[in-house]
Amino acid sequence: MRIGVLAKRTGTSVPTIRYYEQIGLLRRPARSGGQRIYDQEDVRRLAFVRRCREFDYSIEEVRSLLSLMQCEKSCTEARDVAAEHLAGVRRKLAELKALETAIASLVTECDASCAGGLASDCVIFQTA
Amino acid sequence: MRIGVLAKRTGTSVPTIRYYEQIGLLRRPARSGGQRIYDQEDVRRLAFVRRCREFDYSIEEVRSLLSLMQCEKSCTEARDVAAEHLAGVRRKLAELKALETAIASLVTECDASCAGGLASDCVIFQTA
DNA sequence: GATACCCCCTCAAGCCGCTTGAGGTTCAAG
DNA sequence: CTTGAACCTCAAGCGGCTTGAGGGGGTATC
């Protein structure tokens, strides 16, 4: 299949596929008249990459997982990559939750105490 | 005060201050012998910018807030910027929460059913 | 007056993970 | 044989900075 078909099947944009090839995440496929030709294995590999990216793994994490998947070792290392990633996600989640609380309370306070007042006095602009 | 002092007082790096000036977020300060000289007003303005950035406002959002702060209007527009930003934060929060759940369940399932097994069979690599 | 040392300056490029654009080629249909 | 979609390569752009190269300013000490 050609690149457009692979793109559609995996929900990836065509330039992104070429980009992944360029950075060595996907193998360089066979060519026919200069055009890239992919097979079912490429679909599987790219689908995996996309799923990882949706899970917010970095490109380098994906690269690690791909190489672990390739080799004949046990999956404990892959589990460790996932667990570490999970820890990162949880850190971000906590930060974002704190952020949400802080902004929400600013908005609430503005509504309660200064809505309609002069902008420069608004709680949203408090620097403290 | 010179740029290094401003940087320390606001917890900003020196190049970041110069960058903010370059993109027009901070005014161009007076110079003494070619070196930037700042005053208390610059500290306040930069501190506000930093607080916004910690709150994950984009540079453009900060720019809007700064201009609203400057003018003599009511704070309802600022409140609207904040409320919209809050909505964005909440969307991200929901996504991240879903992500956390999904990855956590993969890790748990790996521990339960395939830990130590062959990497290629691990649930972490399931593409479905 | 010279030296040492830190802070400052400008300009340019690098980071991530793509996307966008320009300008040209290949393929399938009519 | 022509059209038009899909493909190709190469380069630059996005946000929000950071990093690096190469040089100037300010002050304390010898």
- Between A69-73, A89-93, B33-37, B75-79, the lowest mean confidence (pLDDT) is in A69-73
- pLDDT at residue A128 in the model: 58
pLDDT above 70 coverage of chain B, percent: 98
Nucleotides of D under 7 A from a protein CB: 6-11, 15-20, 24-26
Residues B40 and A103: their CA atoms lie apart, in Å, by: 26
Q: Is the pLDDT of residue A63 over 90?
A: yes
- pLDDT at residue B100 in the model: 94
pLDDT tier for residue B86 given thresholds of 50, 70 and 90: very high
**Which nucleotide, over all strands, has the C1' atom closest to the CA of B34?**
C9
Rounded CA–C1' distance between B38 and C5, in angstroms: 24
Answer yes or no: do A74 and B44 touch at CB < 8 A. no
Q: Is the pLDDT of residue B120 over 80?
A: no
- pLDDT at residue B112 in the model: 86
> Backbone phi, then psi, for A118, in 5-degree steps?
-65, 135
Q: Which residue is nearest to nucleotide C26 (CA to C1')?
A: A33
Answer yes or no: do B76 and A115 touch at CB < 8 A. yes
Residues A93 and A39: their CA atoms lie apart, in Å, by: 38
CB–CB contacts below 8 A, A to B: 144
- pLDDT at residue B122 in the model: 86
Rounded CA–C1' distance between B15 and D21, in angstroms: 15
Residue B82, classified by CB atoms within 10 Å of its CB into exposed (0-12), middle (13-18) or buried (19+), is buried
Which residues of chain A neighbour B127 with C-beta distances below 8 Å?
44, 47-48, 51
A116: left (phi over 0), alpha (psi -120 to 50) or beta: left
DSSP A122: -
Answer yes or no: do B47 and A127 touch at CB < 8 A. yes
B44 closest CB neighbour out of A71, A104, A127: A127
DSSP per residue, A34-84: TEEE--HHHHHHHHHHHHHHHTT--HHHHHHHHHHHHSSSBTHHHHHHHHH
